Amino acid sequence: MISFSALSKCYGPLTAVRELTLQVEPGEVYALLGPNGAGKTTALRCLATLLRPSSGSAAVCGADVSVDPLRARRRIAFLSSSMGLYERLSARELVAYFGRLHGLAGAALTKRVDEVVELFAIGDFSGRLCGKLSTGQRQRVSLARALVHDPPVLILDEPTLGLDVLSGRTIHDFIVRERGRGKTILLSTHQMDEVDLLADRVGILRKGELVAEGSPTELVQSLGAPNLTKAFLALMSEWALVPEEGSA
Amino acid sequence: MNSAWWVVFRKELLETLRDKRTLFVMVAVPVFLYPVLLIGTEQLFLFGARNLDAEPSPVAVIGDAPAALLDLVEASEALTLTAVAGDAVAAMRADQVMAVAVVGPDVDADDTRDVTLLFDAASDRSQRAHTQLRRVVEAWRDTILDRRLRDRGLPATFSSPVAVADSSIARPADMGGYTLGRVLPLLLVMMTVLGAFYPAIDLAAGEKERGTLETLMTAPVPPGAIVVGKFVTVALIGVTAAGLNLASMLLTFQTGALQVTEAIGLEVSVPLISVAVIFLTLVPLAVLFGAIFLAIAVRSGSFKEAQNALTPVYMLALFPAMLPVFPGIDFGPVLALTPVAGVSFLFRDLMSGNAGWLLGALVLVSTTFYAGAGLIFAARAFGNERVLFGGDDTSEVTADPWARKLWSRARPGRVPTPSAALGFVALIAVLFFFGGIRMQIAWGESGLLAAEWLLLLVPAVLFVALGRFDPGLTLSLRAPKAPHLLGATLLIAGALPVVWLVGWLQSFVLPIPWDLLEGLEELMTAQSVDRFLWLVLILALTPALCEEIVFRGVLLGGTRTLEPWRMIALNGLVFGAFHLSFQTVIRFLPTAMLGALIAWAVWRTGSLWVGTLMHFLNNATIVVLTSLPVVRETFSDPEAPPPLWLVPIGALALGVGLLVIVRSTSSGAERAAEGVPGS
């Protein structure tokens, strides 16, 4: 499971995430929503141990990200649209490389690589250099890379950004399947249909603060909006009308 | 073997070897391009020399030319006697003739006749014609001498009582090593460093640019293992490139493919053991630059940015490598401890066959030590999230267009960014270097005064005003308290003898420019009270105001976001560098120390006036000591050590001064609450 406890992250005078507290249970998909610059990516990066929280804490299956980042990393798969692949490695070499970094070796490594290659249908192009793959193929290799150690927690930062409908569908199917396997899943997104389709619970971030939380239905009802998009817009426009004071 | 660094290393090596650019620099350049380029250059050189010799040079003899001389010129195969009408220089400029002998009027029996040879030192053809013409004129001179001796019945040996002959004991192999030893070290260092250049950029900045560093950092691998894996790859590529270059160069020379070496009697054979030691020394060198390049490259956001950042470092590394090329520099312990220079000199000595074990060991140990330090530097960068993912974005502070800044008022709390402040100081330094020197040449001492006010103070005030920076905060314009001033006075009184001692100690290492010092002494001697006051104005009061506003004002104000010790050290270094010139390297350390001390006091008290007072007291003391001959006699014999009894007293005053200022200023948090600049 995932837990944030009053986590804040500051860059000099700017506070990107302010006292974020939330929990995601195994078998649950939690979607973080928010406009650009709301702090979604920063929060996910803190959880993935890429950034060090300024205060507060976060933990993955009991491993505190600040105290024992390496232990936390073994328990997570982190996938973000900004993450690249090694252009001069073949798809299979790349997946195997990350398998080795996660401590797999020998027959166990070969077996696991074969599994993920099959799972994400990489077989046809597993020998091709990553630099020569299409966007959709790259996304599948990224998934295989992230999942090679079969961790209990998935952190997905805008996983379908820039993908066509078909590739997006592959990701959605994957998320549903992993939830079924009892994985804890935290994702950030801009796409309301994605949230409708996948999320068990939603958290809305505004200027680094969690301003609303609940199931999609609860959120729509509590804001009296016809759908989630309208509810989201209502929250954001409410903020736009609020004077600047105290929100910096 | 499956430890994390090994996994990273294997993958990096595989990927690097698939990179055509790296392979080209590492393998193709030394193996093919080198010998081809070298032999090609030699052929071109030989072709040019043959071409020059092929046709005779047109020359003229003008003035009172005797027939004997003209006959000799005509007889020479290398020269063609050409008639010149009018101006000889004009004829040469028009390329009608390559050299001209201007023969003076005939003289009495035993006198000397003048002959001037005109030639163009900037033209190869003219120089060659000059040499040939000179030979002919000297042959003519010898015939006259012979005649004079014969007329008096003297033997030919009369005019040469001593015959001097040169004979070098160097064997062809020694000469080969000597010649090679001047050129090859530079080439080897250059290629080793270049070998590490692209892999370092690719493995650090390239990985950041492509977004794979973020991917890598999510794997459970400690940053240290990533650095080691990457760094071993870069160093290995550097060493391999160096080895291939060494082998290729030696083979090119030793197979006798070069006609030039044969023609001038050079034999190139470096003993195998020397080659092995050279290769062994290249390893820590490759390690050192692998680490430095990686550490710098990882701080850059893109391949291009890293290339821009590394190129000056590369150029800087070549300078010490070039030292063995210059004659007259002896290889000693100081050079052995100098990064890169030591390696380069050791190569020279190994190739000419007179390397010492002690110096060799010093080079190996010191280079290994520097390599270790470089590695720590790199490891720290990989453990730093700001370096890896950016995020410390303060650029918005200076992002407004200049036009808008002009018309609006200063924003409270706004200070320049470190890069803006450093950029400003760099600009001022260039302005002062070119403009200030011109002003001093044009107006003498008044020029110095004008340069300080117009090129330091005015730009600093304009910078703060146009940048809409908060003047009070940027320039630390807080009124000092009495204890601050007392502390500052004690600090500078204590620092003077200590800095004096440092200056005296470094005179053992660095040469003192005596001529310059004597000139200064003359300039600073005051015969009258008016002159003394004028000196205090231009040398103490003016710098105390104008330099302080730049260094402890803008620079200190703009670098407050750095850690205090970095900010203070940077201030001292920049202040020392500003006072640097070719003759005054010796001033750097003392000036930097004073700069750092003043920076500390201003940062601690939040008052620029404390800095102004310290700067004034320091400069005024020096003016008093040097301008009054009586005092100077007692205190400033530059070769004598400073009065040693002053040093402990100075140290004591320094300590008390520090204490007074620390006691009279509150802690960081309290000062922040009070709104003290720099807290």
| Same structural domain, B495 and B616 | yes
Q: Cβ separation of B389 and A45 shorter than 8 Å?
A: yes
- Name the minimum distance, in Å, from the CA of A107 to any CA of chain B: 14
Tokens of B183: 């050129």
Please compute Rg for chain A using Cα positions. Answer: 19
> Residue B623 above 90 pLDDT?
no
Q: Do A247 and A170 fall within a single domain?
A: yes
Q: Kindly state whether residues A173 and A247 are assigned to the same domain.
A: yes
Minimum mean pLDDT range among A76-85, B206-215, B266-275, B349-358: B266-275
* pLDDT value at A186 more than 90: yes
Domain limits for position B370? 4-42+171-388
**pLDDT band at A244; cut points 50, 70, 90:** very low
Inter-chain CB proximity A51 and B394 less than 8 Å: no
CA A221, CA A211: separation in Å to the nearest integer? 15
Q: A121, A150, A179: which is the final residue of a domain?
A: A150
Mean local confidence (pLDDT), B347-357:
79
Q: Within this chain, do residues B11 and B63 fall inside the same structural domain, yes or no?
A: no
Nearest to A50 among B4, B210, B214 (CB): B214
Residue numbers in B near A88 (CB within 8 A): 14-15, 18-19
Q: Does residue B274 sit within a domain?
A: yes
In angstroms, rounded to a whole number, what is the distance separating the alpha carbons of residues B148 and B158? 11
C-alpha pair distances (Å), B336 with each of B290, B333, B537, B648 = 20, 5, 46, 35
Check whether A242 has a pLDDT greater than 60.
no
Number of domains comprising chain B: 3
* Residue B6 contacts residue B229 (beta carbons within 8 Å): yes
Q: Are residues A220 and A165 in the same domain?
A: yes
> Nearest CA of chain B to the CA of A246: how many Å?
18
- Counting Cα atoms < 13 Å in the Cβ hemisphere of B170 gives 17
Domain count, chain A: 2
Average pLDDT estimate for B369-388: 77
pLDDT, mean over chain A: 88
Domain boundary pick from B369, B388, B407: B388
Q: Are residues A243 and A160 in the same domain?
A: yes
| Mean pLDDT, residues A155-183 | 88
Does one domain contain both A204 and A235? yes
Residue B528 has pLDDT above 70, yes or no: yes
Q: Which of B165-169, B258-262, B369-373, B508-512 has the lowest mean pLDDT?
A: B258-262
| Interface membership of B215 toward A (CB under 8 Å) | yes
Residue, of B38 and A163, whose pLDDT is higher: A163
pLDDT on residue B668? 53
What are B12's two structure tokens? Answer: 């990096």
Taking CB atoms and an 8 Å cut-off, how many pairs form between chains A and B? 78
For residues A86 and A101, membership in a common domain is answered with yes
> Which residue, A116, A150, A184, sits at the end of a domain?
A150
Shared domain for B488 and B339, answered yes or no, is: no
Q: Which band of pLDDT confidence, cut at 50, 70 and 90, is reported for residue A237?
A: confident
Q: Is B301 on the interface with A (CB under 8 A)?
A: no
**Confidence check: pLDDT of B677 > 60:** no
For position B393, what pLDDT does the model report? 35
CB contacts of B7 in chain A (<8 Å) are 97, 100-101
The domain boundary, picked from B362, B388, B414, lies at B388
Expressed as residue numbers, the domain containing A103 is 82-150
Looking at the structure, tell me whether residues A163 and A241 fall in a common domain. Answer: yes
The verdict on A160 and A120 lying in the same domain is no
- Nearest chain A residue to B202 by CA distance is A86
DSSP conformation letters of B358-393:
HHHHHHHHHHHHHHHHHHHHHHHHHT-HHHHH----
Chosen from A51, A101, A158 to mutate, greatest number of chain B CBs within 10 A: A101
B442 within domain boundaries = no
Q: Does B411 touch chain A (CB under 8 A)?
A: no
Q: Label residue B256 exposed, middle or buried (CB < 10 Å: 0-12, 13-18, 19+).
A: exposed
Per-residue pLDDT band at B391 (split at 50, 70, 90): very low
- CB within 8 Å of B305: residues ≥ 6 apart: B205
Residues A165 and A233 in one domain: yes
Interface membership of B561 toward A (CB under 8 Å): yes
> Span B84-97, mean pLDDT?
88
Judge if A59 and A159 occupy the same domain. Answer: yes
Tell me if chain A has a CB within 8 Å of the CB of B152.
no
Paired with B99 in beta bridges are: B59
Using CA atoms, how far residue B526 sits from B440, B450, B541, B637, in Å, is 20, 21, 17, 18
Burial class (CB in 10 A: 0-12, 13-18, 19+), B407: exposed
Q: Are B627 and B532 in contact (CB under 8 A)?
A: yes
Q: Do A50 and B218 touch (CB under 8 A)?
A: yes
Residues B119 and B177 in one domain: no
Measure the CA dihedral B564/B569/B572/B575, to 10°.
-90
8 Å CB contact of A74 and B220? yes
Query: Quick one: pLDDT at residue B517?
Result: 66
Burial tier of A14 (Cβ tally within 10 Å: 0-12, 13-18, 19+) = middle
Residue pair A29/A179 in contact (Cβ under 8 Å)? The answer is yes
Q: Do A86 and B212 touch (CB under 8 A)?
A: yes
Residue B393 contacts A, CB cutoff 8 Å: yes
pLDDT of amino acid B626: 77
Least confident of A123-127, B180-184, B439-443: B180-184
CB contact under 8 A, B210 and A87: yes
B118-172: per-residue pLDDT in tens?
A: 999 888 889 989 999 999 999 999 999 999 999 999 988 888 888 888 887 777 6
Domain final position from B115, B150, B185: B150
Give me the mean pLDDT over the A59-75 stretch.
Answer: 91
Gap between the Cα atoms of B470 and B474, Å rounded = 6
Side-chain half-sphere CA neighbours of B655 within 13 A: 6
Residues of A with CB under 8 A from a CB of B: 11-12, 14, 45, 48-52, 70-71, 73-74, 76, 78, 80, 82-89, 93, 97-98, 100-103, 105, 129, 145-146
Give the closest of B19, B222, B391 to A70, CB-based.
B222
Per-residue pLDDT, B437: 80
pLDDT exceeding 90 applies to what percent of chain A? 53
Cβ–Cβ below 8 Å for B218 and A86: no
| Residues facing residue A153 across a β-bridge | A76, A184
- Residue B656 pLDDT greater than 50, yes or no: yes
Q: Which of A103, A131, A150 is the last residue of a domain?
A: A150
Among B198, B262, B258, B237, which Cα is nearest to B37's? B258
Same domain, A160 and A248: yes
CB B528 within 8 A of CB B433: no
B371 inside domain: yes
| pLDDT tens by residue, A118-149 | 988 898 999 999 999 988 888 889 989 999 99
Does the pLDDT value for residue B6 go beyond 90? yes
Q: Is residue B470 part of a domain?
A: no
Q: Report yes or no on whether pTM surpasses 0.90.
A: no
Given a cut of 70, whether residue B309 has pLDDT beyond it is yes
**Same domain as B241, residue B97:** no
The CA distance from A183 to the nearest CA of chain B, in Å, is: 18
Cα angle vertex B111, ends B105, B115, to 5°? 45
Q: How far apart are CA A107 and CA B543, in angstroms?
A: 74
Nearest to B212 among A49, A71, A84 (CB): A84
On chain B, the residues whose CB falls within 8 A of the CB of A82 are: 211, 214
Supply φ then ψ for residue A85, to 5 degrees.
-115, 155
Per mean pLDDT, which range of B115-129, B218-232, B579-593 is the poorest? B579-593
* pLDDT for the residue numbered B582: 59
Identity of the residue in B15, B215, B219 whose CB atom sits nearest the CB atom of A84: B215
Residues A166, A248 within the same domain: yes
Question: How does residue B260 score in pLDDT terms, banded at 50, 70 and 90?
Answer: low
B504 and B653 assigned to the same domain: yes
Q: Are residues B251 and B295 in the same domain?
A: yes
Which residues of B are less than 8 Å from A85 in CB distance? 212, 215
pLDDT band at B513 (very low <50, low <70, confident <90, very high): low
Q: Report the chain B residue with the minimal C-alpha distance to residue A48.
A: B218
- CATH number for the domain harbouring residue B124: 3.40.190.10
pLDDT over threshold 60, residue B550: yes
Which residue from B211, B385, B393 is facing A51, i.e. has the nearest CB? Answer: B385
